[in-house]
Structure 1
């Protein structure tokens, strides 16, 4: 695919982004569209590799992920971009992915880790090309509402308007069902709206797609919490089927001395408050927790922790430190993480680059475990105590954290943000419907069927698989829609 010798002639070029220091002065997205000739060269790097692992979309138990979870037809649209056939590339992209404008911005691109070129060179810039295809589509007016020609007379309720819920709703609507999406927040989008800072995924980008879905016939009901505003049993009685896409929103806590002090917040609460205030008033209403002039400690080395850095930098924090309990990753793949698995290697994310530009150093501190919080006379956190830890794996495969003597340290801390993951979905709907759950507290619904223990009720996304990626949520939403359609109609033509 592409130019047969393109991967030999052209080097990878990453998308241009605004200077890390300058971009912290606003909440606007900072990726710059690449000129078309450059993009066509990047598409030309996609080689005719025979077996395109990039679009495999699978997992290996105990090892990791391979390729794109939504099975994007990557070599096909790379070839079309190289040939300048942008509209055809967009059609290929939309065959497998309802929302490439979301994944083109926030997906970690497991496809690139499985690119055949990446065996001995830099991978094809798949994510960047995807982003440019869909944005070209919007610019040219190619992306328009496509409501179904006929309706089946069946009604489906989708609970949750994050990536899984939106993907499921889009597919079920295509099948001709009347779909209503329920969202407890005041805006549609779930994680896409309030869980990801506006600089990474602008609300205008989410709203642009929501408007198309509405014009295609989907009904959205915000400010409606199932189990509170409408009971789950009433919802099930009103609709022919119910699809739960509520996410895994119960945050994991850090249970150490002093946890009750003021100034210690869950990361998602911090991010949601900020985005809500930003969208409502450009932060003028003050209805958010500010990091301005504070020494900020982010506990957790993942993407949510980086989002907290991104936000705190823009608030004007006095300092920012991110704790990672693990060792720094290697610059090269470890032997246990060979191609085509998603590469577990050292990276520097955009938020970390911004913190370095503003404060002069990478914000991360490794092998750090919090032992206690200490407060002032008013009950506000003022410092955080830690010890270094060594992580090993025991015979049963569990991680064991061993304190390292002599590594105790005290850190100034006016604001502590807990970003150490999530423990599973909230339980109100689960209890109301008497759904069976797994040992991980997720909804028990087998992958591939997505059917819960209650007939007519399906589950997809993080509430079923646990905390995961936006692209996996889209994958599960699409597949669950197919199974829901099969339940309603006896068969399904949905992919």
Structure 2
């Protein structure tokens, strides 16, 4: 695949990004496309490695390795190297319904398991993927695929995130009539309101929804199943139902002073910001504003990073992100060897922006918030913290111990809580009579059937908070199961 000696002749080129100091003044995507020449060189680096671990799609130590949707990566790398972009698009679309999403926001576990990554920087798979699909839209190669026959079967999908959209796309192409219910005012789920515009511009999501609509899928927004329409009505109207409601129950802080004004859950902050941007370019004032404030983000993950980037664009005075784990090493450790995802230090877009703005990485490691203090009016005033050390206990498990004398007081007028998600929201599941385990839908992987006849579940609602590629994977898989349930066999791959 690629050029036989390409991996020896060419180096990995850094993804093109707009200047960190200037991009914080707008809400446009921070990344920029490679040139065709650069991408040809990157495609040439793909080795004839025999076993392409990049598309094996599995989990090692509970971390994704390779591509869960089994993209035919070496094949389209080779086609890009040869300048055969339209054929590369055809190969890409065989496995991925929405490369324009994964090519922008997927953490690219495929690159971590690239064979070249054993000794050198991996092939720039993610950037190649994004450019292939973008060229497809730019050149008019992507056109509505309207099914020529309809089966007469009707399917309701609850939730329009990547799992719901993937299932809808597949089942529509199989000839079924698909209706997608979304409680928000726009389809897309977390693609629309959970991921900030600077990572995924919403026109990209809207463009795909328009295409799906043209292909025959019906989107019903501003409609909450279980509230605006009952589970009984859904079951009566449709031959099958798929629950793709995500795992949006946010985990909250249980700490002294939590009731202070100025503490918000991260997804509330991100959602309100994006909605106000789309509705009125912030003219409506319906968002949490960090301008001129000292901001602290509690939680060291991607959602927390998005809060940092959002606060920077709102012209916060300072921003700090607290994480409970130590800083990651600069290179793989012995317990994190290839092909596992490289658990190493990186300066992601939000942190690069904060470093440019303030001269330092905003992350604080091994830190625990002990209490929150409000002023006499109940407004957030400060956080009290202590440093921790991570040590291995006698049973071999790691524990975190406080370090005496490391107490510190941090001024803050805004705190965003980004410490993860507990599972799927329960009221809808209870109305359908769905069995759950640890607040997730009880439905076996590969089968996706719930305890209720004709009702299936996929994506984060079933597996817990995960990657967009797993959501697409499960959306495609559940579509195959539903097609078999309705027709006795399936035409879907």
TM class by shorter-chain length?
Answer: over 0.9
CA contact (8 A) 2:55 2:70 kept: yes
Tell me the distance in 2 between the aligned counterparts of 1:222 and 1:146: 23
CA contact (8 A) 2:270 2:307 kept: yes
Could you say which residue in structure 1 is the equivalent of 2:54?
Answer: 54
CA contact (8 A) 1:41 1:82 kept: yes
Tell me the distance in 2 between the aligned counterparts of 1:334 and 1:35: 34
Tell me the distance in 1 between the aligned counterparts of 2:403 and 2:435: 42
Could you say which residue in structure 2 is the equivalent of 1:197?
Answer: 196
Shift of 1:66: 1.7
Could you say which residue in structure 2 is the equivalent of 1:290?
Answer: 289
Aligned counterparts, 1:382-461, within 5 A = 382-392=381-391, 400-438=399-437, 440-461=438-459
Could you say which residue in structure 1 is the equivalent of 2:31?
Answer: 31
Shift of 1:200: 0.5
Partner SS, residue 96 of structure 1: coil
Partner SS, residue 248 of structure 1: coil
| 1:482/1:398 CA distance change after superposition, 3 Å | farther
Q: What do the CA deviations read for 1:270-321 (whole angstroms, capped 9, x no partner)?
A: 0000000000110111100000000000001100000001100000000000
Tell me the distance in 1 between the aligned counterparts of 2:269 and 2:29: 20
5+ residue gaps, structure 1, are none
Could you say which residue in structure 2 is the equivalent of 1:177?
Answer: 176
Shift of 1:63: 5.2
Partner SS, residue 347 of structure 2: coil
- Aligned alpha-carbon RMSD (Å): 1.1
Partner SS, residue 453 of structure 1: coil
Shift of 1:391: 3.0
Give TM-score, length-normalised by structure 1.
Answer: 0.98
CA contact (8 A) 1:16 1:33 kept: yes
CA contact (8 A) 1:63 1:341 kept: no
Could you say which residue in structure 1 is the equivalent of 2:8?
Answer: 8
Tell me the distance in 1 between the aligned counterparts of 2:149 and 2:309: 46
CA contact (8 A) 1:151 1:177 kept: yes
Could you say which residue in structure 2 is the equivalent of 1:302?
Answer: 301
Shift of 1:387: 1.0
Could you say which residue in structure 1 is the equivalent of 2:488?
Answer: 490
Tell me the distance in 2 between the aligned counterparts of 1:321 and 1:185: 31
Partner SS, residue 373 of structure 1: strand
After the TM superposition, which of the residue ranges 388-397 and 262-271 deviates more from structure 2? 388-397
Aligned counterparts, 1:109-124, within 5 A = 109-124=108-123
Partner SS, residue 384 of structure 1: strand
Aligned counterparts, 1:34-433, within 5 A = 34-60=34-60, 62=61, 64-392=63-391, 400-433=399-432
Q: What do the CA deviations read for 1:47-75 (whole angstroms, capped 9, x no partner)?
A: 10000000000113x35322001100000
Tell me the distance in 2 between the aligned counterparts of 1:393 and 1:124: 36
Tell me the distance in 2 between the aligned counterparts of 1:18 and 1:181: 36
Shift of 1:397: 7.5
Shift of 1:33: 1.9
Tell me the distance in 2 between the aligned counterparts of 1:390 and 1:249: 31
Tell me the distance in 2 between the aligned counterparts of 1:303 and 1:476: 22
| 1:394/1:190 CA distance change after superposition, 3 Å | farther
CA contact (8 A) 1:160 1:182 kept: yes
Shift of 1:421: 0.2
Tell me the distance in 2 between the aligned counterparts of 1:391 and 1:150: 60
- The counterpart of 1:468, out of the listed 463, 466, 473, is 466
Shift of 1:394: 5.3
Shift of 1:432: 0.8
Partner SS, residue 297 of structure 2: strand
CA contact (8 A) 1:388 1:403 kept: yes
Q: What do the CA deviations read for 1:147-195 (whole angstroms, capped 9, x no partner)?
A: 1110110000000001111011000101111000000000111000000
Tell me the distance in 2 between the aligned counterparts of 1:284 and 1:123: 44
Give TM-score, length-normalised by structure 2.
Answer: 0.98
Tell me the distance in 2 between the aligned counterparts of 1:398 and 1:427: 32
| 1:396/1:252 CA distance change after superposition, 3 Å | farther
Q: What do the CA deviations read for 1:221-274 (whole angstroms, capped 9, x no partner)?
A: 000001110112221121100000000001101100000111000000000000
Partner SS, residue 436 of structure 2: coil
Partner SS, residue 156 of structure 1: strand
Partner SS, residue 180 of structure 2: strand
CA contact (8 A) 2:33 2:127 kept: no
Partner SS, residue 311 of structure 1: helix
Shift of 1:392: 4.1
